[in-house]
């Protein structure tokens, strides 16, 4: 059976990466789509693991070649998802998580209407700002830009099939896992007609 395509978006600093790192090892056949970006690596980020870090020239060349299923300029940097990598993982039976912004989510929903989408939101604005600052990876200008963009991204909430509030990490991780298990069960039902069973 082909895997599910799962779009995952959240305003910056909400905790998307933290949730993914927690749940992915517990979910079996699921892979993270490694995006291309022109952003500089953060301390601890590895090339070809967290992102494919590329120059603007290489990014634009790939875009013009049609390598990306979606791409967007987010917080001043380019980000894009390789169509080939996603479809290859899906054919191997892996569920594929696309950690992308809401502009990208809109593009993937149009191109792959069978995809599913999850939006993670923070419990409050105060907590969102606290997390973004607490991460300690961004300068003040970047934090302001990301907070302003976060307000705009929240307006796109209706694009998404599922919304998870990341209040406590334990609860958010449990919700995320429940969604993935439900999608798998639904897919099995579509394939063999059996009732939805959570495995």
Single residue of 6, 23, 100, 118 touching ligand 5GP by CB under 6 A? 100
Least Å from the CB of residue 128 to ligand ADP: 9
Measure the CA–CA gap between 44 and 138, rounded to whole angstroms: 14
Which of 19, 23, 53, 104 is the binder for ligand 5GP (CB under 6 A)? 104
Q: Which residues pair with 95 in a beta bridge?
A: 30
Closer to ligand 5GP by Cβ: residue 9 or 115: 9
Check residue 70 for interaction with ligand 5GP (CB under 6 A): yes
Extract long-range pairs of 17-24: CB within 8 Å, 24+ residues apart.
Answer: 17/99, 18/169, 19/120, 19/164, 19/166, 19/169, 19/172, 19/173, 19/176, 20/97, 20/99, 22/169, 22/173, 23/173, 23/176, 23/177, 23/180, 24/97
* Neighbouring residues of 199: CB distance < 8 A, sequence distance ≥ 6: 181, 184, 185
Q: Which does 117 bind (CB under 5 to 8 A by kind): ligand ADP, ligand 5GP, none?
A: none
Q: Residue 102 interacts with ligand ADP (CB under 6 A)?
A: no
94/187 with CB nearer ligand 5GP: 94
Is residue 103 within the footprint of ligand 5GP (CB under 6 A)?
A: yes
- Please tell me whether residue 72 binds ligand 5GP under the rule CB under 6 A: yes
- Site residues (CB under 6 A) for ligand ADP? 10, 12-18, 131, 134-135, 166, 168-169, 172
């Amino acid at each position: 059976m082909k895997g599910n395509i799962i779009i995952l978006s959240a305003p910056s600093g909400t905790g998307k990466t933290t949730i993914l790192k927690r749940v992915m090892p517990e979910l079996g056949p699921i892979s993270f789509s490694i995006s291309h970006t022109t952003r500089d690596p953060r301390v601890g980020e590895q090339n070809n693991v967290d992102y494919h870090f590329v120059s603007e020239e290489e990014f634009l060349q790939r875009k013009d070649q049609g390598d990306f299923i979606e791409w967007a300029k987010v917080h001043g940097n380019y980000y894009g998802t390789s169509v080939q990598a996603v479809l290859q993982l899906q054919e191997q039976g892996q569920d594929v998580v696309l950690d992308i912004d809401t502009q990208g989510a809109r593009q993937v929903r149009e191109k792959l209407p069978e995809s599913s989408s999850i939006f993670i939101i923070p419990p409050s604005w105060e907590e969102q700002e606290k997390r973004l600052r607490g991460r300690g990876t961004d300068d003040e200008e970047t934090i302001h830009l990301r907070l302003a963009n976060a307000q705009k991204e929240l307006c796109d909430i209706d694009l998404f099939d599922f919304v998870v509030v990341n209040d406590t990490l334990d609860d958010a991780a449990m919700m995320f896992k429940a969604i993935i298990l439900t999608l798998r069960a639904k897919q099995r039902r579509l394939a063999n007609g059996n009732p939805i069973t959570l495995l």
